[in-house]
Amino acid sequence: MCLNKLKKSKVFIQSSILGFALSISGCGIIDKHVEWETVEPESYPVLKAIGYAPISSQRGESDSMKLIMAMKASKLDAYRELTEQVYGQKIEGSQSVSHLVVESESLRASVEGVIRGAEVVKTYPVGEDTYVTELSLDMQQVYDIYLSTAKPRRVKDVKYY
């Protein structure tokens, strides 16, 4: 009986010493070093967009002023189209029904984003009253611009201490 108590006492003391040693050694807190590398896409598309603007509808005192305003409007329209391709378009719709008859229906589209690196490919009048601007956006150039501001990364290696 005394021998049995001694064995239990020995196990208790060993457990206590082990618990104390683990608590002061900081077990459970592992330090690590993470090594990162940049990620590059496999291919880069070239996006194209065309913007249109009516010349006669522009505000201006002369025909040349209206032409300049149409140039600007067609360029903005082309940029809007590029933005839609890059960021997508937000569509909001609503419908009102009363007595199972549609009373009103509305649909709203919007786009928001920043386009950097687009180039004007061509700008020209079409017919008597339309001005056209063609834009191109090389996604390789966009990626290079992106890298200069934010470095995309993935885990390369992790070392635990």
CA distance 92 to 128: 36
Tokens of 87: 């960021």
Domain chopping of the chain, boundaries: 46-159
pLDDT in tens, 3-44: 555 455 655 666 666 565 555 555 555 677 777 777 778 899
Q: Which amino acid is at 11?
A: V
Q: Where is 42: in which H helix or E strand?
A: none
More confident position, 22 or 50: 50
pLDDT in tens, 96-143: 999 888 999 999 999 999 998 999 999 999 999 999 999 999 999 888
pLDDT in tens, 62-105: 999 999 999 999 999 999 999 999 999 999 999 999 988 899 99
